[in-house]
Amino acid sequence: MSKRFYITTAIDYANGSPHLGHAYEKVLTDIVARFRRLQGDEVKFLTGLDEHGQKVQMSAQKCGVEPIEVCDRLAGEFQGLCARLGISNDDYIRTTEGRHKAVVQEVLQKLYEKGEIYKAEYAGFYSPRQEQFVTEKEKVDGEWPEIFGEVEEVVETNYFFKLAQYQDWLVETIRENEAMIYPRFRAADVLQFLKEPLNDLCISRPKTRLEWGIELPFDADFVTYVWFDALTNYITAAGYGTDAFSENWPADYHVIGKDILVPPHAVYWPIMLKALGLELPRHYLVHGWWLSSGSKMSKSTGEVVDPLTLIEQFGADAFRYFVTREMNVGQDSEFSLELFMSRYNSDLANDLGNLVSRLLNMGGRYTEGKVPKATIEGEPEQALKAVWEVTKAELVPLYEGFQFHRALERIFGFISAINKYAETRAPWKLAKSEAEEDREKLETSLAVMAEALRLSMVLLTPVMPEISSKVRALIGAESFESLKGQLDWGTSLAGASLGEKAILFPRPERN
């Protein structure tokens, strides 16, 4: 079979509850995945949880439970978030799963046998109180701060992965593949990092310091530490070592935050793959951060607002719309309750929700709850269709280029044009006329509004899947799997039954 379109998010660290950043990355990836499915690709969409490491072990100790219990609880929370957001992932990987441990150990063994991993001693300053090594940089006024307690110099043995020998190859690869990293300016950060000589990467921890990890296959006194555990998830889920692997790998997109591009995803991961003789991921989609994320003071009430509560209050699609409309992928963006409410009220409730509401209502009053037939084509109809043609032509390239904020701007511009069209035809005035010509105009106007709404919902599907199918059901449009043929202005709705009056985006209670 032909290769799937394989897209991943970063796996979340089991060290705290989900926040806006986690939710955003899932939504962004989901939009790409859904768009590709509409374009006819078979998609594999992976997300998951990174469960090993010191912090997980410590927080379990603090609670007096086993680490896996902490992980189970958080896995539940993160998977619950995905479900609530309508994320269409078809796999969810947890790094404590057997399938993952097996791949990590296989990979480590292979590289060890190839001589890519070696054992060495390191001398450094260790803080038993913080259970971590400290560096000269952390000194304040020539002393380590009180929180570190007694700092002692220790010598420790560990395993290292050889990075430096691949440095020139990596620089060359990134230079030659301009499209590898989106947005492109991020590649400059990688190349700058690679101007300095690479040090080999420490990939183990002695079990005396860290138990909660995957054991090295060639030395039972150690577990592997972070990168070989976390990054490897991408090939585990792709079916490394099975026939399925070639159908999935290489990944088409790793969607990640800007903080984990350099060095892990753009340096360690490609070198790990190269050493294993595997192909590199084709692209990285690197997004920015939400500023003031997690919470924001509401100016009016002084209350702290958790963005994720907005999902419960206003629905997953409203949340998806907001983060997609506001974020220019790759840049940072501001989150505030005021901005959210502004988008919700004016774009969703007033422009879209109210349009659906008035169409259903008029259909019930004037055309017996059916979508009538469009029989005339006057200047207003031509004008609206002209707007549609422009919108349609722009949208696919915008989606393909990750310009989702602009895509939504265009779609809602078209929705606004439907409202303008309604004002021009004013079916509520035509309904008062006895003239045959006015009756035709009335029926045409409702048919045109319904068809235009159907078209806009097709384009909106990747971002607002739930609302899209809800509106399509209300206007009698059939469901669809592929974009093919769906974007052509047609008459398929004629005769369809309109749904009961519906409020898609209720206004919040006013205090």
Partner RNA sequence: GCCAAUGUAGCUCAGUGGUAGAGCAGAGGACUCAUAAGCCUUUGGUCGGCAGUUCAAAUCUGCCCAUUGGCACCA
Interface positions with RNA (CB under 7 A): 120-124, 132-133, 135-137, 156-158, 185, 188-189, 192-193, 196, 199, 202, 258-259, 262-263, 326, 328, 331-334, 339, 342, 345-354, 356-358, 361-362, 365, 405-406, 413, 416, 419-420, 422-423, 426-429, 501, 503-507
DSSP letters spanning 85-109 = HT---SEEEETTSHHHHHHHHHHHH
By C-beta, is 46 or 151 nearer to RNA?
151
- Cα-based distances in Å from 245 to 90, 99, 101, 104, 190: 16, 13, 17, 15, 28
Q: How far is the CB of 82 from RNA (least distance, A)?
A: 26
By C-beta, is 223 or 348 nearer to RNA?
348
By C-beta, is 81 or 310 nearer to RNA?
310
276 and 107 Cβ atoms separated by less than 8 Å: yes
By C-beta, is 23 or 349 nearer to RNA?
349
By C-beta, is 108 or 504 nearer to RNA?
504
Query: Which amino acid is located at 254 in the chain?
Result: H
373 and 446 Cβ atoms separated by less than 8 Å: no
Q: How far is the CB of 36 from RNA (least distance, A)?
A: 24
Q: How far is the CB of 250 from RNA (least distance, A)?
A: 24
By C-beta, is 152 or 279 nearer to RNA?
152
Query: Which amino acid is located at 9 in the chain?
Result: T
Q: How far is the CB of 31 from RNA (least distance, A)?
A: 17
Q: How far is the CB of 73 from RNA (least distance, A)?
A: 26
- Cα-based distances in Å from 364 to 358, 359, 495: 10, 9, 13
By C-beta, is 88 or 298 nearer to RNA?
298
Q: How far is the CB of 352 from RNA (least distance, A)?
A: 7
Q: How far is the CB of 76 from RNA (least distance, A)?
A: 29
CA–CA separation, 82 vs 93, rounded Å?
A: 13
Task: Collect all residues with Cβ–Cβ distance below 8 Å to 203 and sequence separation of at least 6.
Answer: 108, 117, 158, 159, 160, 161, 224, 225, 227, 228
By C-beta, is 165 or 346 nearer to RNA?
346
DSSP letters spanning 450-484 = HHHHHHHHHHHTTT-HHHHHHHHHHTTPPP-SSST
By C-beta, is 33 or 180 nearer to RNA?
180
Name the strand (E) or helix (H) holding 155: strand 152-161
- Nearest of 321, 365, 363, 325 to residue 505 by alpha carbon: 321
Task: Collect all residues with Cβ–Cβ distance below 8 Å to 410 and sequence separation of at least 6.
Answer: 391, 394, 395, 398
By C-beta, is 250 or 264 nearer to RNA?
264
Q: How far is the CB of 125 from RNA (least distance, A)?
A: 8
- Cα-based distances in Å from 26 to 48, 183, 256, 312, 332: 10, 18, 10, 17, 16
Beta bridge partners of 219: 216
Q: How far is the CB of 241 from RNA (least distance, A)?
A: 28
CB atoms near residue 457 (< 10 Å)? 24
In the numeric block, which tokens belong to residue 205?
Answer: 């921890």
- What secondary structure letter does DSSP report for 165? G
By C-beta, is 5 or 366 nearer to RNA?
366
Beta pairing, strands 5-9 & 253-257: parallel
Tell me if the bond preceding 206 is cis, omega within 30° of 0: no
Q: How far is the CB of 346 from RNA (least distance, A)?
A: 4
